Each structure stands twice: as structure tokens, then as C-alpha cells.
Amino acid sequence: MTTMHNDDTDTNFPATFTWGVATSAYQIEGAAAIDGRGPSIWDTFSHADGKIIDGSNGDVACDHYHRYAEDVELIAKLGVNAYRFSMSWSRVQPTGSGAWNEAGFDFYARLLDALAAKGLDAHLTLYHWDLPQALQDEGGWLNRATCYHFAAYAAEVARRFGHQVASIATHNEPWCTAVLGHGTGQFAPGMADPAAAVQVSHHLLLSHGLAMQAMRAVNVPAKLGIVLNQWTATPATDSAQDRELAELEYARSVQWYMDAIFKGRYPALALKHADASALSIFENDFTDIKQPIDFLGVNYYTRAFMSAETPPRKPECKLGVNDMGWETYPQGLTELLVGLHREYRLPPVYITENGMAVADKLQGGKVHDQPRIEYVQLHLDALRAVIAQGIDVRGYFYWSLMDNFEWNSGYAKRFGMLYVDYATQQRSFKDSALWYRDFITAQRASHAVALVGEH
């Protein structure tokens, strides 16, 4: 299957649109015990037996800590104008409280200088799941004190780098930290306690609100927001049970975070079904959580397909599935954003992650990943449909710049536009990288032609 575009539809993205790629610290940096970095919960988790499918860890990963200059060169060659990355909290503050590690901050200063030299906007995420292990030892996100440590960390990063980055996101996908990290145990710290997951979700949201206030207090010029992973929930059939399941899934996964941030409460449906018996909420928590945000980052990969049958009915997957087993469902992105726009007064939106794992093979220095090209094309078409409805979408970041440590899947799953040979750390452009570069170039050219035509 090949999807083609007419030239006239290719100009639908605004001239000011942000085109980027994204990564996260633990997945690419390596240098796990170098220059004073403290261990994070992912160091601990990945070194425990049986937690990572291929038995690997992030000790070396893509060795980005030593190869950042080369990686920034590659980002620039993609033709994008932005790079989204996260900071390793335990690299800059080894125990999550107390002394700062200047060698850690120096690394990010060098990275930011390299990006600036190439004219690339930096979009920084403060927390992409790698809590300092020392804080976990004190209860982690179940301990309310962690929220205040996080706010102090946010303020320090904003004070140092707030004038060098285009945006700062507090959290990446708090749903994953809460549910996968504490509800099912698939992710660090590996806790399987649904009640704990609910409490953790609240503390993550509280820490976000406290961090927003702390960063605003140091007058940062950077735009401030949060990144949420979101999806539509489709009932498998028209049965009342399937419809109820879909409604509950959406309430639990999307509205739980959106309602807290934008409405200062949790959705009644999700609260009714949550294991909230031990949920501790202090009097002013929602006032703290409901801080105005400058942007909302949305990570979208697929939809939830909800079936009450045993075994559950599966979707038809007309456009196929990726290497993670996730259905390609681009119209879900349009449905999601249109629905959010209707329900909440949204600030500017960035698609901060969207991408596809493919079982890539490097052959003769090339990687032919046509399914990934089609996936991106289809989702950019879905985004065009959103923009056409007047929704303020400012940018798109492909996940990921390069193949990396894919959490509990280890190195077995490849999401990158750059192929990484982990034995040699050689990076190679996949066909999708070349396609993305050409697509962005064509976008710019069409705007340049339009500009000339106006004069």
C-alpha cells in the first residue's frame, strides 16, 4: 500500500509549524555511572532478573552521552527545526534532593549549545520515568515529599536553562508511571498494586502543578506544559457492556489527567471504579494541580479497542499492526483532538510523540522501512484534518530519532528513523528519515513559493 498526496494538500501545515524528533534520557544516554550520575529506578529495574524481555539494560544504550555532537549533526541533517529530549534527574541531582551535580548540568549545557549552533529549538522534558533511586528508597511517587523535591528540581533546571529552551514539559506520560510502574509492575519500579497506581497518579499531577508554580516563580521565558499519552476508546460492538467499557477506559486514561489539569477534579466515572479507598488528597491539591499551561503535549500511537467478550474481540486492523502489536489507527488522532477541543479549552497542542516499531533490517547500509513512512504519512494526514477544523496544533515530533532501549522490551523493538547497530554504535538513516527530510523540505518550499506569490 502506498499513499500519495496532491501538492495542494501538502501546504496545510502552517509556515511556523515545528517539525521535530524526540528521545528520552534513559533510553539513549548510557554513561550510567559516569561523572557523578546517581542510579535511577530504571537502572535498578533493568538489572533485576526477568524484568526486561531481552535481559538488557540502559548502561550504554546509544552512548549519546559521549556521541551527542554526532547525534546533533544527524538531527540537523534530517531538516527538522526542533529536538525533544529529557533530562536525567539523577544525573544532575544524584539523590533527587540535596546537592546538584555540576558535571551532569555541564552535559546538558553542551547539548544545548550544540543544538543552538545548528539552529535547532530544544524542547526539554523534566521527567521521563527515571526517578532517582534514592527517592524511591524513601517511597518514591507514593511519598508526597517527592512532589516537593520535583518542584525544587524543576525550578533549578528552569533557572539554569529556561532561557535556552523553547519549552519545558514537567512529565512525560504520567499514566505510564502510575499504571505500568505501580499498577501492573511492567515498568520501574515494578509495583503491582492498583490502589498505589491511583495515589501515584495524584502525586504526579500534584508535582506537575507545584513544578509549574516553581518555574513561573523564576520568570522563565520558555513555554511550560505537560505531555500526556492519550487515545480514543472504541467499543468493539454496539452492546451496552462494550460502550460502558469504552467510556470507563477513556475516563480512566484520558479524562483523569485532563479533568484534573483543566477542571480541577477527577471524573466521577473513573473515581467510582478506581481503587481509591486509600487515595489521599489534601485540601488545596486541585488548586495546585490546575495551573494554566502554555501548551499540551499529546503522545498518540493507537486506539483502545474495548470488548467485554471472553476472549476479547479484536479490531480488524485494516492498516496493519506494528512490531509492538499495536493497531495502526490514524483517524483516532483526529477523533481524539477534536474531542479534547470540544471538552476542554485547549492551549496550543504539540504532537510530542507518534511513531511505529518496525522489525528493521540493515542491508547494504540501508533500511527499507516503508510501513513506517506510511504510518507517518497517515498520521500527518489525520493532523491536517485537525488543523483544518481550527484546532491550534503547533508541531509534530516523530518518536524516535533513533533506535534505543525500549523499556521492558529492551533493544528488541526499533522505533527510530536512524538505525543503531548497538555493537558498533553506528547510526544509519532509514528510508523513513530520508522521506521525513524530503517531506519537511517540500513543506518549506511550498511556503516559500506562496510567499513569493504574495509579493
- 27 marked as part of a ligand binding site: yes
SS (H, E, C) the chain: CCCCCCHHHHHCCCCCCEEEEECCHHHHCCCCCCCCCCCEHHHHHHHCCCCCCCCCCCCCCCCHHHHHHHHHHHHHHCCCCEEEEECCHHHHCCCCCCCCCHHHHHHHHHHHHHHHHCCCEEEEEEECCCCEHHHHCCCHHHCCHHHHHHHHHHHHHHHHHCCCCCEEEEEECHHHHHHHHHHCCCCCCCCCCHHHHHHHHHHHHHHHHHHHHHHHHCCCCCEEEEEEECCCEEECCCCHHHHHHHHHHHHHHHHHHHHHHHHCCCCHHHHHHCCCCCCCCCCCHHHHHCCCCCEEEEECCCCEEECCCCCCCCCCCCCCECCCCCECCCHHHHHHHHHHHHHCCCCCEEEEECCCCCCCCCECCECCCHHHHHHHHHHHHHHHHHHHCCCCEEEEEEECCECCCCHHHCCCCCCCCEEEECCCCEEEECHHHHHHHHHHHHHHHHHHHHHHHHC
What is the crossing angle of helices 431-454 and 370-388, to 10°?
Answer: 30
Rounded Cα–Cα distance for residues 297 and 304 (Å): 19
- 81 marked as part of a ligand binding site: no
Rounded Cα–Cα distance for residues 62 and 273 (Å): 41
Residue type, 145: A
- 398 marked as part of a ligand binding site: no
- 5 marked as part of a ligand binding site: no
CB 84 within 8 A of CB 352: yes
- 129 marked as part of a ligand binding site: no
Active site (annotated) includes residue 173: yes
Instruction: Give the Å distances, CA to CA, from 444 to 19, 53, 191, 438, 454.
Output: 11, 42, 47, 10, 15
Q: Catalytic pick from 29, 249, 335, 353? A: 353
Any idea how long the chain is? Answer: 455
- 172 marked as part of a ligand binding site: yes
- 399 marked as part of a ligand binding site: yes
Please report, in angstroms and rounded to a whole number, the separation of the first and last CA atoms in the chain. Answer: 40
Half-sphere exposure of 350 (CA within 13 A, CB side): 33
* Listed residue (189, 226, 232) closest to 210, CA to CA: 226
Q: Catalytic pick from 29, 173, 327, 374? A: 173
Active site (annotated) includes residue 353: yes
Residue ranges at the known binding site for substrate: 27, 128, 172, 301, 399, 406-407
List residues with catalytic annotation.
173, 353
Residue ranges at the known binding site: 27, 128, 172, 301, 399, 406-407
